[in-house]
Structure 1
Amino acid sequence: MSKAIIHSSDPITLLGGGHATAQDVAEALNIAPKLVAVDGGVVTALAAGIDPVAVIGDMDSAPPEALVKVPLARQHHISEQQYTDFDKALRHVAAPVVVGAGFCGGRVDHQLAAFHTLLVHADRPCILQAEREVIMLAPPYVALDMQPGETVSLFPLVAVTGRSSGLEWPIEGLSFDPAAFIGTSNKATGAVELWMDKPGMLLIVPRCYLRPLVAQVVQGGARWPARAQ
């Protein structure tokens, strides 16, 4: 297991170098006030007047004129090319939950890599901001007080099963598989509860549920155990 660079008892914001508006960053910091810039995310952070507590990555997207504004002690160069900078940052941050901005939108391959990282590090809860939704790896149990008709999308990254309450199309008895059966565009009938049998399902809900999801992870410990090493 990687040794943590940043330790926090509160949620942390990871800011990537992809698309992130000033509103995205402000919303994330309102919930997770410490910001770790992921490589080129340092440019967005500094442009917003934010002093990152750390910059993590291989620094190939972080220009020298930005890095010179960050103390060397806060710069953590990790050159492993077989891993993305998001992967490097997530596994070197110890926090109850991470909010990720700047990882969705833009290049599709970068988004797919981010979803892969959520799965690989299932024991490190992370909620990604998208333009209209938030995305996380569904924990063993999650409950949301949703409005009838709101979209709840479930996309399996591996073969996975589970149970639900409060969905128009219940998922119990269904075998999800990315090559066979997915669960996008389901709808809430009211309060929603989900139970997953193992890590592997992306949960995609409207962006207004970012704060409730963060609170649930922090308060309820909704997380998968670390994989055996």
Structure 2
Amino acid sequence: MIAPIVQVDHPVTLVGGGEVRPGAVTEALDRAPSLVAVDSGARAALAEGHQPEAVIGDFDSLDPRTRALISPDRLFPIREQETTDFDKALRHIRAPLVLGVGFLGGRVDHQLSAFNTLVRHADRPCLLLGAHELAFHLPPEIALTLPVGSTVSLFPLAGVTGASEGLKWPLQDIPFAPDGRVGTSNQVTGPVRLRMDGPGMLALVSPAALAEVMRAFLEAGHARWPSRVG
């Protein structure tokens, strides 16, 4: 088991090096009060006046000026190049939930890589907040109260099946796959309940649903996928 760099009993804000709209870090910290930066994400944190509790990554994009503003005991370089900095950070955080900003928008390859990390570490609940979407890997079961008529998009990154309540187009009996059936632009018709038979399904909803999605992930007894072996 990997030793944690950050271990807390409350949500963590994780700042990436992608697009971060002004004020996004401060707003995230209102909900997830511990701050961790991924490599160059430290610049966005410092720009809003926040000192990261830890900076994790290979540091290939952490410029010397930014690095000099951070106490050395808060710098945690991980030099291996087999995984992304987001992956490095997520697997070294132990928290009930991670709220990521700076991972959506910008380069498509970076976003796809972030989605890959969400699935690779399905046992680590993490929400990625962008200007237009809130993206997360679905747990075994989740219940959400979302506005009727709002959009829930589901995109598989593995072969997966499940069931749903409260969606216009139910999921039952549909084999989803990244090279087959996907579930974009479904619509809410009532209280939503999603049950997945295995890991691999991403959900994308409006950023306005952040508080409700966080509530669902943090409620007592929330089911998680088991840790990945190997």
Which residue identity lines up with residue 50 of structure 1 in the other structure? H
Give, in whole Å, the separation in 2 of the partners of 1:215 and 1:67.
Answer: 35
Alignment of 1:26-175 (within 5 A): 26-175=26-175
Give, in whole Å, the separation in 2 of the partners of 1:24 and 1:181.
Answer: 34
Residue 222 of structure 1 is matched in structure 2 by: 223
Residue 194 of structure 1 is matched in structure 2 by: 194
- The unaligned stretches of length 5 or more in structure 2 are none
Deviation at 1:24, TM superposition (A): 2.0
Which residue identity lines up with residue 29 of structure 2 in the other structure? L
Which residue identity lines up with residue 162 of structure 1 in the other structure? G
Between the two proteins, the alignment pairs up a number of residues equal to: 229
Give, in whole Å, the separation in 1 of the partners of 2:74 and 2:105.
Answer: 27
Deviation at 1:227, TM superposition (A): 2.1
Give, in whole Å, the separation in 1 of the partners of 2:228 and 2:68.
Answer: 38
Task: State whether residues 216 and 222 of structure 1, in contact with CA within 8 Å, keep that contact through their aligned partners in structure 2.
Answer: no
Residue 16 of structure 2 is matched in structure 1 by: 16
Give, in whole Å, the separation in 2 of the partners of 1:212 and 1:147.
Answer: 11
Map Cα deviations across residues 106-159 of structure 1 (whole Å, 9 max, x no partner): 010000000000000000000001212100000111111112110010000000
Structure 1 vs Structure 2: percent identity of aligned residues? 50
Kindly report structure 1 stretches of 4+ aligned residues shifted beyond 6 Å: none
Map Cα deviations across residues 175-197 of structure 1 (whole Å, 9 max, x no partner): 00110110000000021110001
Give, in whole Å, the separation in 1 of the partners of 2:133 and 2:16.
Answer: 17
Which residue identity lines up with residue 56 of structure 2 in the other structure? I
Deviation at 1:22, TM superposition (A): 2.3
Task: State whether residues 24 and 129 of structure 1, in contact with CA within 8 Å, keep that contact through their aligned partners in structure 2.
Answer: no
Deviation at 1:26, TM superposition (A): 2.2
Deviation at 1:202, TM superposition (A): 0.2
Equivalent position SS for 1:22: coil
Residue 204 of structure 1 is matched in structure 2 by: 204
Task: State whether residues 26 and 48 of structure 2, in contact with CA within 8 Å, keep that contact through their aligned partners in structure 1.
Answer: no
Equivalent position SS for 2:79: coil
Give, in whole Å, the separation in 2 of the partners of 1:130 and 1:41.
Answer: 14
Query: What is the RMSD computed on CA atoms of the aligned residues?
Result: 1.0
TM (normalized to structure 2)?
0.97
Which residue identity lines up with residue 198 of structure 2 in the other structure? K
Task: State whether residues 217 and 223 of structure 1, in contact with CA within 8 Å, keep that contact through their aligned partners in structure 2.
Answer: no
Task: State whether residues 42 and 66 of structure 2, in contact with CA within 8 Å, keep that contact through their aligned partners in structure 1.
Answer: yes
Give, in whole Å, the separation in 2 of the partners of 1:23 and 1:67.
Answer: 21
